[in-house]
Structure 1
């Protein structure tokens, strides 16, 4: 299988004031590269199998149905009534055909078609999203709720480009909304119709699959197969996760989640969600993290991570095990102090007919091994190029100012562009519940968290590993001790990869990280500090321990910029404050160093801030007087990092990049400086700076 290089570095930043229409429009950006497949191929590979013999009878029934005859004689574009009334009979046709097929095939109908476009489905949507029609899970009466909708319809009376574009926008929004907000979904379906032209839609965590448009009146056999397949499918076939059960505890929605490991199956119940990184993207890992307890031991709180990982990537639990094995007994106690504890982990396993199990995987268990043939694809017409984005999750976890959009690329990558990366559903449970450093409310605790993370990074560096994603969300404070978490991108360094065949962390070696904390060399994708004598030599750039250390420094700067001592009150109105306003100047610094994804490129300004002592001193002048010692710490760490970077000057043309010169940066410089700052710290409780008008 083709490999790809680490976590994408492009990030979606929420734009709070976009209209729903603007947000839907954004979802169509990039669809020019999306590929379509023949409708029969779509049905044969992505829908459940229907009884072929019974389908012939169902087709006969379909063609004799009064609604079918009406559409055939009076196409929607000739209708004198609005779209709602024009297409409402279509759902009657669906229900009648499903009922006929179910009776003839001696199976149960499992869904009900419904057309109530004036009603907003329940489920706490950010906007009043109202699909034109839906399939509801179960027989009537069923509540109109997003949790019960495995398929949405969008109807237009006319086949024109504007009408088609509107349907595309709404369908992409509907499907992305479902995948973002219902953690029980593995995939979902959609159908768009313009006049008599139907198109089939599907998406899972590997992206969208879209059929060519076809005249449904001229394709009764295909339509009968579509209705019969969807109308009698199991909840699992319709996209629901059989290993996750929705329950209600004191009126609050929770989930019972199975974790399958080598030692067996264990069930955990959620208490609250910690994060949902990237869930508003379809084609993504869709990482969700909960505080949970094992049902057999409710008193012990744990953390469960649910993720759709690339098939060929080493599982996070395995990485932990391999790192600990490489560390050996000399650093084991320190590793246990500054790493998380694995309780259990494994791929999600599904029970299949015959009693066997298979991993929940987008290629095999969901798509049945189907991959779009490149020779049989064609592109959609080019639509808009409008730069905007939106969060789609209703259960937003990090909505405060300064929240990090993590590793969430734009949705344009969700549309199938010819590259298919299969993903496997994976879960891991940790023994500790920590507080991300971005949420820590005392400066002494912030410094403890950073010192602990530096100790963890020191262990990795000592044994030739790099973390590759140091950020404010994976540095944790657990019972007063700092820990570095999220080992899913941990990799051997250039040094460690030599002669270390026993350690299997050799896939996905590309640049990785959370954009706001990425080192300048990573952003430029080259060695910046090497001797000019070797400028003409093209050394292959590799991520190394210096980039982890610089990311830790950027975490400190992020905290100093976003957080103030609690007693230092902000201006009441930032927008109208004087130019000397502390918060206003700090916010300007934030916009330069940690801008939204749609902001102008500030890589050069970030590098100058880090590399130029005078620029650094001038820009940090806006920080509070109470931060004098901490600004001094940041300056000392910056000086130390630059001294280590300057060791690139010693590299030679013959030997090339020698990462050995960076060894010991944490124990020799970072950890002692953080420990000294902790001892001298005189800042107490913190607040987030004010950036909004009242």
Structure 2
């Protein structure tokens, strides 16, 4: 997580970030009421119930600042006295050591225990539910399918939420952190905690578009906002000497609408008997009910696309997949890319081939809030441009941990996740790679300035987008039959070949966005995640590297053409005359690196390698494991872990010798993979033979070779089941746990099972290789 934020002037923060329509005259009227009844003493410039010097008061900060709840209630009462139409939607609660609970069904306590909570009221939640029911009625829903109870059925009292397990994240509008002294270490600790709290709310509650927080050190108060592209902090104010600022803040906290506090009106929690939290989501003009999460990258970083994917059901009971994400503002929507790809294919039969191999959009569009397309600048910040504000820096940075309830639902990573940080400007796709000696601009740039530049890239303006796919398919990484994997890959390569001939590159092929899909008697290989696809050679202003690291072509990873002819000719070491002094030659400009068709094909090759390495085989009910588990484990770590080695990946592509490392049942596919590596080598060498000119005219032949080799092995791999290595380790661990329950040693008789048990805790496989069905 980055440790930078943008500091916004207090007046700007109130005008743009706290848009509750509170006028200065109304704030002054509330202040007059509070002074008239002795709540605030103008003579001493202090709130009568709040210590002027908190550090002098013994006790925990939550106890010392407990009077803030009384001030909050008095502000609410005074405001409603002046305007009887005001409806309070949120209440302030201050507790000590009360955790946040991730969800209704998970019962997982988060590490954070904020000092203060702003909790949404029952009636505000019910109003959002009623609005969703109206949309469902228009969409043809006869009933809230799967729901057996309503919010009204639950005990929503403050005591029920606060005593015992904690407070549900979905009911927390914001959190607060207190420190009695304003020391540097206390400020740093508060700042780190409030960032953690806000990021946790965005991570665990899909109903949030952004979140607020506040920190208090002694009598100094700051307000914070975190969205998918902004991390803002207001200028601090003295809550004792600047009572109008505190009153305005509390008026916003109490009377704002849920959407002004970050809630998304187009998605609501749906109480049900499901083992997983259920939601109703609007996409296009339709309402869908979630069945369960398929993928969720929102935990990796508060910024970025933060994709969430659900299996959903429509009003007719049909199953689909729905994706929700925040796109860079200047990038096209995925359904637009889908339409452009098909429009660029001239032949009707080829167009049908590709359409049958792409996930089919059936509902899509930008999410609307109050009739406006939601985005991080015009809607969330009310048009305020925070890009010109000054930077602040957190000294202590919280490490965002994976959501323990979602470990099995991590999907493909995205270019703006932490493992794909912004590149240096000199190595972006659309700039030349300089070979000049000397320092670059980034070498001369101070570290803080460089991080500010990277922060600007990650915090770019974004819009909120949803798309629903007709198909709810199974990712290649979760397909359980080898013959189905190969069938899907053949169809995918065929479609990629047509797309490439039409000038399109996918740029993010991985085992998590290639699918096997079967409907009735029809089997299809499908390609998903088109948001990074573009026409080859099309320029881009984005200097963010695309591709899932474990499946990225080695040239795309290195941002360099690696198969160009060597400038050194073969020479005889025993003939000195063959060596002459190398004279300087005219500089040849390197072409800008661009992701091409061969790179997509190599990513498909890495998908096949992952199937070999990350699974054991089974046939006729008999498991056939790798004979070299240690070597296989090393390969898993080198190729498919977050600490994977680029050198190891390059070596495997150059010489893919791992037939003894994988199950012997996979031998036909091992031979095909080795042959396809030769095809890739030939394709790269031909393309770069006349470097710096890159010739891609032969690519259709490479696609043809891929299909031929895979078609040849299909009869040999029938009936082979894929058993994920992680599943094997899990099974052994479960057996161990059961045996430990009876205080006996685990019943593991063979050495292979013992090794699996020892390796189970050391497995560091990329989460994207275990993505559930889509």
**Contact 1:280–1:393 (Cα < 8 Å) also in 2:** no
Q: 1:348 aligns with which of 351, 367, 372?
A: 367
SS of 1:642's equivalent in the other structure is helix
Q: 1:451 deviation in Å?
A: 1.6
Query: Against the structure 1 CA distance between its residues 215 and 323, is the aligned structure 2 distance closer, same or farther, given a 3 Å change threshold?
Result: same
Query: Using the alignment, how far apart are the partners of 1:372 and 1:623 within structure 2?
Result: 53
**Contact 2:50–2:67 (Cα < 8 Å) also in 1:** no
Counterpart position of 1:228: 251
Counterpart position of 2:39: 65
Please tell me whether residue 141 in structure 1 is matched to residue 193 in structure 2. no
Query: Using the alignment, how far apart are the partners of 2:27 and 2:699 within structure 1?
Result: 69
Query: Using the alignment, how far apart are the partners of 1:518 and 1:99 within structure 2?
Result: 60
Q: What's the RMSD between the two structures over aligned residues?
A: 2.8
Q: 2:381 aligns with which of 359, 367, 376?
A: 367
Query: Against the structure 1 CA distance between its residues 322 and 109, is the aligned structure 2 distance closer, same or farther, given a 3 Å change threshold?
Result: same
Counterpart position of 1:625: 664
Q: What is the TM-score of this pair, normalised by structure 2?
A: 0.75
**Contact 2:283–2:365 (Cα < 8 Å) also in 1:** yes
Query: Against the structure 1 CA distance between its residues 418 and 428, is the aligned structure 2 distance closer, same or farther, given a 3 Å change threshold?
Result: closer
Q: 1:325 aligns with which of 343, 352, 373?
A: 343
Q: What is the TM-score of this pair, normalised by structure 1?
A: 0.84
SS of 2:261's equivalent in the other structure is coil
Q: 1:187 aligns with which of 203, 210, 213?
A: 210
Please tell me whether residue 108 in structure 1 is matched to residue 87 in structure 2. yes
Where does structure 1 lack aligned partners over 5 or more consecutive residues?
Answer: 1-26, 352-356, 498-504, 572-579
**Contact 1:361–1:423 (Cα < 8 Å) also in 2:** yes
Alignment of 1:166-565 (within 5 A): 166-250=189-273, 253-260=277-284, 265-295=285-315, 297-298=316-317, 300-328=318-346, 329-351=348-370, 357-372=371-386, 374=388, 376-380=389-393, 382-383=395-396, 390-392=401-403, 394-398=405-409, 405=413, 407=415, 409-410=417-418, 417-418=455-456, 420-479=459-518, 480-494=523-537, 508=542, 511-533=545-567, 536-565=588-617
**Contact 2:61–2:180 (Cα < 8 Å) also in 1:** yes
Query: Using the alignment, how far apart are the partners of 1:568 and 1:41 within structure 2?
Result: 68
Q: 1:683 deviation in Å?
A: 5.8
Spell out, residue by residue over 1:517-541, the C-alpha distance to the aligned partner (whole angstroms, 9 max, x if none): 1111111111111123499431111
Counterpart position of 1:610: 653
Greater mean alpha carbon deviation, residues 425-434 or residues 535-544: 535-544
Counterpart position of 1:129: 112
Query: Using the alignment, how far apart are the partners of 1:99 and 1:651 within structure 2?
Result: 79
State which structure, 1 or 2, has the greater radius of gyration over its C-alpha atoms: 2
Query: Against the structure 1 CA distance between its residues 251 and 523, is the aligned structure 2 distance closer, same or farther, given a 3 Å change threshold?
Result: closer
Query: Using the alignment, how far apart are the partners of 1:390 and 1:405 within structure 2?
Result: 15
Query: Using the alignment, how far apart are the partners of 1:465 and 1:595 within structure 2?
Result: 29
Q: 1:380 deviation in Å?
A: 2.5
Q: How many residues align?
A: 621
Query: Using the alignment, how far apart are the partners of 1:652 and 1:517 within structure 2?
Result: 25
Q: 1:212 deviation in Å?
A: 3.0
Query: Using the alignment, how far apart are the partners of 1:393 and 1:185 within structure 2?
Result: 19
Query: Using the alignment, how far apart are the partners of 1:220 and 1:66 within structure 2?
Result: 8
Query: Using the alignment, how far apart are the partners of 1:368 and 1:104 within structure 2?
Result: 27
Query: Using the alignment, how far apart are the partners of 1:687 and 1:248 within structure 2?
Result: 35
Counterpart position of 1:500: none
**Contact 2:99–2:109 (Cα < 8 Å) also in 1:** no
Q: 1:373 deviation in Å?
A: 5.5
Counterpart position of 2:740: none
Spell out, residue by residue over 1:360-386, the C-alpha distance to the aligned partner (whole angstroms, 9 max, x if none): 111111111111252x514236446x9
Counterpart position of 1:679: 715
SS of 1:530's equivalent in the other structure is coil
Query: Using the alignment, how far apart are the partners of 2:405 and 2:11 within structure 1?
Result: 35
**Contact 1:156–1:163 (Cα < 8 Å) also in 2:** yes
Counterpart position of 1:38: 9
**Contact 2:192–2:396 (Cα < 8 Å) also in 1:** no
Q: 1:51 aligns with which of 17, 20, 23?
A: 23
Q: 1:190 deviation in Å?
A: 0.1
Query: Against the structure 1 CA distance between its residues 586 and 483, is the aligned structure 2 distance closer, same or farther, given a 3 Å change threshold?
Result: same
Counterpart position of 1:3: none
Query: Using the alignment, how far apart are the partners of 1:440 and 1:130 within structure 2?
Result: 41
Query: Against the structure 1 CA distance between its residues 529 and 568, is the aligned structure 2 distance closer, same or farther, given a 3 Å change threshold?
Result: farther
Query: Against the structure 1 CA distance between its residues 674 and 454, is the aligned structure 2 distance closer, same or farther, given a 3 Å change threshold?
Result: same
**Contact 2:416–2:544 (Cα < 8 Å) also in 1:** no
**Contact 2:497–2:700 (Cα < 8 Å) also in 1:** no
Where does structure 2 lack aligned partners over 5 or more consecutive residues?
Answer: 123-155, 162-166, 423-450, 568-585, 730-758, 763-774
Query: Against the structure 1 CA distance between its residues 224 and 168, is the aligned structure 2 distance closer, same or farther, given a 3 Å change threshold?
Result: same
SS of 1:532's equivalent in the other structure is coil
**Contact 1:40–1:222 (Cα < 8 Å) also in 2:** no
Query: Against the structure 1 CA distance between its residues 331 and 569, is the aligned structure 2 distance closer, same or farther, given a 3 Å change threshold?
Result: closer
**Contact 2:354–2:499 (Cα < 8 Å) also in 1:** no
Query: Against the structure 1 CA distance between its residues 341 and 682, is the aligned structure 2 distance closer, same or farther, given a 3 Å change threshold?
Result: closer
**Contact 1:35–1:417 (Cα < 8 Å) also in 2:** no
Counterpart position of 2:636: 590
Query: Against the structure 1 CA distance between its residues 346 and 693, is the aligned structure 2 distance closer, same or farther, given a 3 Å change threshold?
Result: closer
**Contact 1:313–1:508 (Cα < 8 Å) also in 2:** no
Greater mean alpha carbon deviation, residues 388-397 or residues 674-683: 388-397
Higher-RCO chain (CA-CA 8 Å, sequence separation at least 6): 1
Counterpart position of 2:696: 659
Q: 1:649 deviation in Å?
A: 4.0
Query: Using the alignment, how far apart are the partners of 1:305 and 1:349 within structure 2?
Result: 16
Spell out, residue by residue over 1:166-217, the C-alpha distance to the aligned partner (whole angstroms, 9 max, x if none): 2122111111111011111011100011111211110111131112333222
SS of 1:639's equivalent in the other structure is helix
**Contact 1:65–1:93 (Cα < 8 Å) also in 2:** yes
Query: Using the alignment, how far apart are the partners of 2:685 and 2:267 within structure 1?
Result: 52
**Contact 1:36–1:380 (Cα < 8 Å) also in 2:** no
Query: Against the structure 1 CA distance between its residues 548 and 649, is the aligned structure 2 distance closer, same or farther, given a 3 Å change threshold?
Result: closer
SS of 2:225's equivalent in the other structure is strand
SS of 1:488's equivalent in the other structure is coil
Counterpart position of 2:429: none
**Contact 1:279–1:287 (Cα < 8 Å) also in 2:** no
Query: Using the alignment, how far apart are the partners of 1:259 and 1:555 within structure 2?
Result: 31
Spell out, residue by residue over 1:322-342, the C-alpha distance to the aligned partner (whole angstroms, 9 max, x if none): 111111413133123212222
**Contact 1:121–1:130 (Cα < 8 Å) also in 2:** yes
Query: Using the alignment, how far apart are the partners of 1:323 and 1:232 within structure 2?
Result: 48
